[in-house]
């Protein structure tokens, strides 16, 4: 069976600046994989390359065995890549429910719809007629995750989901993501909080200057070793 997401020798650029230099990893069906490292080493660029924001000039990226090279962002989403972006990107002119419905654009079939999203995020149901940007930071993050789930993705791409959230909200977010993992959702997690990483991830890779410098299984790596690898 093909992995839900694979990077094989990926070289990616912003204009003429090389950011990713031979990046390789795979995310298996139902697996949670963490991409770690200090700021500025290429973690977000890996996601941007999937959607054509950074330029892929070497190697391959595939979702479900199907290469993304030459695909538009919409085509990448139709193949099953769903992004929960850093900063959330909630549309201020739309209600909570309207923001969620944007996620249905890829028209993929699956278990996620408004009813199932509202079951795991009941706050969103209560606020469904409110403008999306009138929610708290934690609720906006839940909205961003719910919007991604509405596309019925093969892999959920989470870019710094805990950023800007209070510790108690991060704990609640971790509960929600752990439930998604238990339900078999495949995830690529970019995250600075190692307590959240160790709770959610099965495997990890550490990036430095756009290259993988360490990788392994979370269960085989102590918290101290992981902190040393990541440099936090």
Element containing residue 97 per DSSP (H, E): helix 96-102
pLDDT for the residue 1: 64
Q: In sequence order, what E strands does the chain have?
A: 5-14, 17-27, 32-36, 55-63, 66-67, 81-84, 155-159, 187-190, 203-208, 211-217
Q: Are 79 and 122 in contact (CB under 8 A)?
A: no
Neighbours of 196 (CB within 10 A): 21
* pLDDT tens by residue, 87-143: 889 999 999 999 999 999 999 999 999 999 999 999 999 999 999 999 999 999 999
Q: DSSP code of 211? A: E
Beta bridge partners of 81: 155
209 Ramachandran zone, left/alpha/beta (phi>0; psi -120 to 50): left
CB-based contact 152:79 (threshold 8 Å): no
**Tokens found for residue 38:** 């200090």
Record: fold of 5-230: Rossmann fold (3.40.50)
Judge whether residue 70 has pLDDT over 70.
Answer: yes
Structure tokens at 166: 């209070």
Reported confidence tier of residue 34, pLDDT bands at 50, 70, 90? very high
Its pTM stands at: 0.94
């Amino acid at each position: 069976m093909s992995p839900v997401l694979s990077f094989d020798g990926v070289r990616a650029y912003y204009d003429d600046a090389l950011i990713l230099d031979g990046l390789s990893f795979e995310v298996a069906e139902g697996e949670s994989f963490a991409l770690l490292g200090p700021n500025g080493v290429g973690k977000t660029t890996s996601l941007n390359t999937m959607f054509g924001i950074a330029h892929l000039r070497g190697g391959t990226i595939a979702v479900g065995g199907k290469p993304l090279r030459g695909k538009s962002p919409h085509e990448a989403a139709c193949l099953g890549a769903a992004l929960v972006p850093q900063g959330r990107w909630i549309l201020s002119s739309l209600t909570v429910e309207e923001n969620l419905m944007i996620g249905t654009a890829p028209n993929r079939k699956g278990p996620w719809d408004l009813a199932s999203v509202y079951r795991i995020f009941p706050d969103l149901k209560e606020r469904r007629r409110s403008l999306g940007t009138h929610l708290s930071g934690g609720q906006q993050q839940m909205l961003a995750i719910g919007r991604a789930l509405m596309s019925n993705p093969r892999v959920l791409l989470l870019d710094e989901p805990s950023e800007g959230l209070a510790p108690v909200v991060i704990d609640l977010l971790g509960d929600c993501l752990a439930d998604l993992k238990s339900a078999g959702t495949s995830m690529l997690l970019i995250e600075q909080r190692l307590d959240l990483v160790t709770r959610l991830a099965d495997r990890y890779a550490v990036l430095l200057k756009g290259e993988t410098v360490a990788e392994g299984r979370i269960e085989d790596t102590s918290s101290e070793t992981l902190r040393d690898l990541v440099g936090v």
